[in-house]
């Protein structure tokens, strides 16, 4: 099982190397370790939220978080952890939700949407995630965990329709497919600790891709042009 090798064995190897050579380590994790939240609630994940991973992948990420804390407590390795929500931005891999829809449209393939489309994700621009990690690396307290989010909650059907409109397609120009196993219903991050203690703030707070060049998030180009800025994101490489 590849995730267990990467997330569990790989994390243990890095921690042991940091212990051996006296290095600082920051561990980038995911909000998936907390499971999901009810639709329509105001509840958000915080640093004290219980771990309830719902998939084999998120279980291995939860395991890696536990290893990081164990190396800190047992060996005093200077570590920090961040749990982040869904990322978007230039150079993202085409397997990810937004890029998958964009490249499908460009290839003349109808996008597909899981389940009822009401699953909610808390979106954050990759540049904001990076700046948060840098803040934690430079100002964070060893042994502490920080949650990273930009208050960007959107359900999948809204994101799908925004992409279709931005690319000149009809709202219903996609196909429904059966929901995937273990699909978390809603994820939402409370990043108040990171903002309060380290002074971090997201720079990209306008997620509306329909605004194209008028949005600070997408710059002065159409959003799908920005999202396809990587040579590895050529539409011809995409399979349905």
Catalytic residues: 31-32, 57
Other residues' Cβ atoms within 10 Å of the Cβ of residue 134: 14
Q: Which of 46, 156, 32, 162 is nearest to 85 (CA)?
A: 32
Q: Which of 162, 170, 146 is nearest to 217 (CA)?
A: 162
Residues 122, 151: Cα–Cα separation, whole Å: 6
Q: 71 with 26: CB under 8 angstroms?
A: no
* CA distances for 162 relative to 156, 166, 176, angstroms: 10, 6, 16
Residues 169, 154: Cα–Cα separation, whole Å: 20
Q: With residue 71 as reference, give the H or E element that holds it.
A: helix 56-75
User: In degrees rounded to 5, what are phi and psi of residue 14?
Assistant: -65, -40
Q: Which of 57, 77, 63 is nearest to 2 (CA)?
A: 57
Q: Which of 96, 155, 121 is nearest to 36 (CA)?
A: 121
Residues of the chain by 3-state class (helix, strand, coil), percent to 5: 45, 15, 40
Hunting for tokens 């290095």 — which residue is that?
23
């Amino acid at each position: 099982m590849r995730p267990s090798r990467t997330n569990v064995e790989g994390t243990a190897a890095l921690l042991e190397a940091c212990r051996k050579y006296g290095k600082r380590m920051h561990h980038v994790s995911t909000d998936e370790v907390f499971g999901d939240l009810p639709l329509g609630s105001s509840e958000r994940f915080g640093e004290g939220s219980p771990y309830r991973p719902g998939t084999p992948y998120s279980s291995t990420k939860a395991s890696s978080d536990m290893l990081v804390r164990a190396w800190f407590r047992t060996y005093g390795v200077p570590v920090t952890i961040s749990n982040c929500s869904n990322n978007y931005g230039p150079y993202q891999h085409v397997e990810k939700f937004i890029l998958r829809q964009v490249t499908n449209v460009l290839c003349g393939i109808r996008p597909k949407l899981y389940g009822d489309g009401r699953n909610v994700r808390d979106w954050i621009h990759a540049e904001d995630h990076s700046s948060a990690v840098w803040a934690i690396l430079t100002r964070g307290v060893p042994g502490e965990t920080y949650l990273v989010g930009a208050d960007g909650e959107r359900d999948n059907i809204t994101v799908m329709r925004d992409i279709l409109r931005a690319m000149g397609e009809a709202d219903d120009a996609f196909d429904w497919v059966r929901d995937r196993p273990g699909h978390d219903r809603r994820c939402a991050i409370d990043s108040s600790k990171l903002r309060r203690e380290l002074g971090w703030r997201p720079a990209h707070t306008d997620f509306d891709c329909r605004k194209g060049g008028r949005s600070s998030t997408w710059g002065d180009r159409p959003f799908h042009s920005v999202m396809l800025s990587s040579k590895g994101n050529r539409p011809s490489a995409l399979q349905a």
